[in-house]
Amino acid sequence: MEIEKLVLPGIEASERPIIIAGPCSAESREQVLNTAQELAKNGVKIFRAGIWKPRTKPGGFEGVGTVGLPWLKEVKQKTGMLVATEVATAAHVFEAVKAGIDILWIGARTAANPFAMQELADSLKGTDIPVLVKNPVNPDLELWIGALQRLVNAGITNVGVILRGFSTYDQKLYRNLPLWHIPIELRRRYPNITMFCDPSHIGGKRELVAPISQQAMDLKFDGLMVESHCNPDEALSDAKQQITPQVLDFTIKMLVLRENKQTTENISVLRKQIDEIDEQLLTILAKRNRVSREIGMYKKENNMPVLQTGRYNEILEKRAQMGEAMNLDKEFVFAIMKSIHEESVRIQLAL
């Protein structure tokens, strides 16, 4: 399977980070339009809102359903933003495509289910709508790739992925563990794949959105999908992790986009220094061994024992002190001096 870079109308290929933002759920026409207008004012070009919500337990807010689709259409008309929503069944696909939704995403629970993925792939046949696949809830890279394969096999090739983190039993720092090595391996296998990071569902808390977004940028993610609500505290789902459009704007402006070129240039200067230092270290060690060999000759001619415990202890103690004064760890200096001294003893014994 080959995966090319995601193409989105009106979004430059070079744009980074591509921002997708909007509420966890579309709740009312007013909430959708207020949030969208604020986001658009700040330059966000892609609006997200969940219409059908997969909730862990029944009885919660499960989304407004198809009545919310015209609100997204209105967002499109009034702001010019692209609009995106989550689909989990063939019926959702049918409704979303009919309503002119621009981008679809597949949620973490759905991506973990091959039957559901196949049903979605089949229902999408013949469309050219961009589809983003969130990671499955369980940390199974092959399952994630399998989900993409089902779409690609059905001719849906304009695809990308969203890292939203992986479920754990005890949620300590993160709501869902990012396990960054998984998307890194995905990128290694599919170098052109467009990867979004969803810091909202990874962190589960407002204050984690910024640091996780920065980490995603440092790991060369192409974009971010962030939950943003005009009144987060009142949100009907995921209230704790949603941020206002203003906070989102600030968060994006604070991101540091480290240029690849600059980083490798800086690092190569430092690496050159390390290379030179290592050469000096080896030259000095070779010199020390030559002197040690001469001492060995002297000891042999004068019938002295090779190992003199007093001298050995003196060397270890004094060097450790010297090292400490230079801010070197005492244990580290001990280990090195022991190893150097051992080599000295070996050289002298060989004589």
Within 4-127, residue ranges assigned H as helices are 29-41, 69-79, 90-98, 108-111, 114-124
Residue 319 near which of ligand PEP, Mn ion, none (CB within 5-8 Å, type-dependent):
none
Binding mask 5-44 for ligand PEP (x = CB under 6 A): -------------------x--------------------
Are residues 65 and 23 in contact, defined by beta-carbon separation less than 8 angstroms? no
Considering only residues 201, 206, 229, 319, which one is a binding residue for ligand PEP as defined by CB under 6 A? 201
**Cα–Cα nearest to 258, from 224, 223, 220, 211:** 220
State how far the Cα of 322 lies from the Cα of 329, in Å rounded to an integer. 11
- What residue has token string 């949603």? 242
Structure-block tokens of residue 172? 């300590």
State how far the Cα of 137 lies from the Cα of 165, in Å rounded to an integer. 7
- Binding to ligand PEP by residue 108, rule CB under 6 A? yes
Cα distances (angstroms) measured from residue 275 to each of 266, 270, 287: 15, 9, 19
Q: Which of residues 207-266 bind Mn ion (CB under 5 A)?
A: 238
Structure-block tokens of residue 28? 């009312």
Considering only residues 76, 134, 206, 229, which one is a binding residue for ligand PEP as defined by CB under 6 A? 134
Task: State the number of binding residues for Mn ion (CB under 5 A).
Answer: 2
Considering only residues 8, 18, 24, 44, which one is a binding residue for Mn ion as defined by CB under 5 A? 24
Binding mask 225-254 for ligand PEP (x = CB under 6 A): ------------------------------
Considering only residues 50, 183, 199, 245, which one is a binding residue for ligand PEP as defined by CB under 6 A? 50
Rounded to a whole number of angstroms, the minimum distance from the CB of residue 163 to Mn ion is 14
State how far the Cα of 312 lies from the Cα of 316, in Å rounded to an integer. 6
Contacting positions for ligand PEP (CB under 6 A): 24, 50, 54, 107-108, 134, 164, 201
